[in-house]
Amino acid sequence: MTIAQTFNLAIERHRAGANAEAADLYRQIITQQPDHAEAHYQLGCILHGQEKLDESFKCFEKALLYRPGSAQAMIRLAEVLHDAQQVDPAMDYCRRALVAAPDNGEAYHTLGMILRAKGELDAALSAYTQALRFKPELFAAEYNIGNIYYAVGQLDQAILAYQRSVAIKRDWPPARNNLGGALCAAGRFDEAIAIYQESIRLAPDFAATHWNLGMVYLRKGDFARGWPEYEWRWRVKQLNLAGGRSTQPEWTGDDLRGRRTLLYGEQGFGDVIQCARYIPEVARRGGEVILVCPRELMTLLKNDGDNSRDSCNVGRFVREWVAVGDTFPQHDVHMPLMSMARISDRPLQSSPSDVPYIQAETRRVEQWRARLAGDDRIKIGLAWAGRSLPDPLRSMRLEQLAPLAKLPGIRWISLHKGESSEQAKTPPPEMDLADWTSDFHDFADTAALMENLDLIISVDTGVAHLAGAMGKTVWTMLPLLADWRWFLNRNDSPWYPTMRLFRQKRPRDWETVIANIGEELKTYCVQRRSTRGG
């Protein structure tokens, strides 16, 4: 077979999706003709698709070496560097490509991706628009325009851009998936469901769409359809969960009869706290519970309070403890905590008698009580931000809570650890904010301090879940598109009877949420002082 015939066969196999076979054929060509620029280029495309960035970069370098001035090779080098988060070198190659081919739509699209990575959103939008000018069929440019509008909360423009992308390439799952997300963010849930269902019909194995559809169903309280779709989370690449899953059989809800049952949280602190409520049920069905949880939660969940048999802590039902990241011990069956509601006798928490199910350690509670002694003001804990992933829109800045600082007779106490905790060093004027979080070793200390507070005000983060699980009065501030567990249009939580929900009515509108809390807080403080007799 001649080199030309081998190359044509490689192209055919590549188009048919037989990438491994195609890559071998391209390597054969390169062995026979090392300066075959197109073979280097096509092999680089396959390797880039397999996320083998170093190898693909070398292939594109060779393609450019043997075909100097190739705009396509420069564009691919820029894309690989962009994926490797080497933004400035990526920009250099992209600008070189535009010099070589000033009317190349793909070069402008790559420039847009690089500019977005640099945070230059207006310039990125301009680049994507130029990409479409020179290549109107470039559906990915419309998609990325939608992503920028979505990121800045301009949902109508985002929806239109995603719709244009879908119109160009009807069977491309990412555009339909993000269109559904934008419709959800705009409160158009039924339209989102229709989009997700159509996307699944066209691309039944695209996991992110199944997962997002599951969350819409769960928000609407449709558990029968929601839980099966939510299980697709294990295959969503961006969540990166699959590596932490047990390979033993999954528990199906049957009688366990002494089987060693591994329970584990695969997501955030709040998820573990919320679903720890199901641990006693596993023990009641005969399971020897092995719990895998973050180290930051282990001391809290292990605590039996005053060591009495009446302790409410779910940890007393656990036989063996394992920290996240450690090797799983021998076990017979497993169950992710976030899947427990799917098979539980109580799929939705509705009985106040089941809360609290987490208790702070008496000794630590007393230590904090002594520290707060002599201060008769109403004590309110604050948590204003969560981790930037998975939802940056759930967070705010501490300075946005400034209107609450004008209320008299309140001692504000930071409960904030993590990315935004530095803000506690410069609270809003008039806010008397104590920040003792440097004394927190883990959530056991957080819980002990919270036990001494009158009220907790928090965004959707682990602090809110902990307060609810402890039966503390907690007011939770939610973005417009709140997580599925808070459902739709409710101001209470069936998971936590002592929690109230304060929701945005418009995207990013924390001002109205805070104003509503301020009005409620005036009444709360009057009632609280009356109860105290002061």
Looking at the structure, tell me whether residues 313 and 413 fall in a common domain: no
Domain-located, residue 494: yes
Domain-located, residue 183: no
Predicted local distance difference test score (pLDDT) of residue 306: 53
SS3 state of residue 65 = helix
Domain-located, residue 280: yes
- In sequence order, what E strands does 254-383 have? 260-264, 288-293, 318-323, 333-336, 378-383
Half-sphere exposure at residue 96, Cβ-oriented, CA atoms within 13 angstroms: 18
Single out the residue of 169, 151, 134, 66 nearest to residue 110, CA to CA: 134
Q: Where are the alpha helices (DSSP H) in 53-206?
A: 53-66, 71-83, 87-100, 105-117, 121-134, 139-151, 155-168, 173-185, 189-202
Contacts of 115 (CB under 8 A, 6+ apart): 121, 123, 124, 127
Contact 412, 375 (CB under 8 A): no
Single out the residue of 477, 483, 489 nearest to residue 230, CA to CA: 483
Domains: count for the chain? 3
For helices 173-185 and 207-219, angle between their N-to-C axes, nearest 10 degrees: 20
Predicted local distance difference test score (pLDDT) of residue 304: 72
Tokens of 424: 């506690």
Looking at the structure, tell me whether residues 345 and 289 fall in a common domain: yes
Looking at the structure, tell me whether residues 335 and 388 fall in a common domain: no
Looking at the structure, tell me whether residues 420 and 368 fall in a common domain: yes
Predicted local distance difference test score (pLDDT) of residue 345: 64
Domain-located, residue 289: yes
- Which of the listed residues 354, 381, 406 is the one where a domain comes to its end? 354
Contact 387, 420 (CB under 8 A): no
Looking at the structure, tell me whether residues 45 and 89 fall in a common domain: yes
Looking at the structure, tell me whether residues 74 and 109 fall in a common domain: yes
Looking at the structure, tell me whether residues 383 and 528 fall in a common domain: yes
Domain-located, residue 6: no
Looking at the structure, tell me whether residues 44 and 96 fall in a common domain: yes
Domain-located, residue 443: yes
Q: What is the largest CA-CA distance in the chain?
A: 96
Place of tokens 């682990």: 462
Predicted local distance difference test score (pLDDT) of residue 351: 46
- Which of the listed residues 104, 136, 168 is the one where a domain comes to its end? 136
Looking at the structure, tell me whether residues 350 and 387 fall in a common domain: no
Domain that holds residue 304: 243-354
Domain-located, residue 320: yes
- Which of the listed residues 336, 354, 372 is the one where a domain comes to its end? 354
Q: What is the rounded distance in angstroms from the CA atom of residue 174 to the CA atom of residue 458?
A: 33
Contact 133, 105 (CB under 8 A): yes
Domain-located, residue 306: yes
Per-residue tens of pLDDT for the chain, all 534 residues: 899 999 999 999 999 999 999 999 999 999 999 999 999 999 999 999 999 999 999 999 999 999 999 999 999 999 999 999 999 999 999 999 999 999 999 999 999 999 999 999 999 999 999 999 999 999 999 999 999 999 888 999 999 999 999 999 999 999 999 999 999 999 999 999 999 999 999 999 999 999 999 999 999 999 999 999 999 999 998 888 877 789 999 999 999 999 999 999 888 899 999 999 999 999 999 999 999 999 999 999 998 755 555 568 899 999 999 999 899 999 999 999 999 988 886 656 444 458 999 999 999 999 999 999 989 999 999 999 987 666 778 899 999 999 999 999 999 999 988 778 899 999 999 899 999 999 999 999 999 999 999 999 999 999 999 999 999 999 999 999 999 999 999 999 999 999 999 999 988 899 999 999 999 999 999 998 888 765
Looking at the structure, tell me whether residues 396 and 331 fall in a common domain: no
Predicted local distance difference test score (pLDDT) of residue 233: 94
Tokens of 417: 């650890």
Please state the pTM of the whole predicted model: 0.89
Looking at the structure, tell me whether residues 481 and 402 fall in a common domain: yes
Single out the residue of 64, 98, 92 nearest to residue 78, CA to CA: 92
CATH of the domain at 56: 1.25.40.10
Predicted local distance difference test score (pLDDT) of residue 491: 96
Predicted local distance difference test score (pLDDT) of residue 347: 55
CATH of the domain at 451: 3.40.50.2000
Looking at the structure, tell me whether residues 377 and 503 fall in a common domain: yes
* Beta pairing, strands 333-336 & 318-323: unpaired
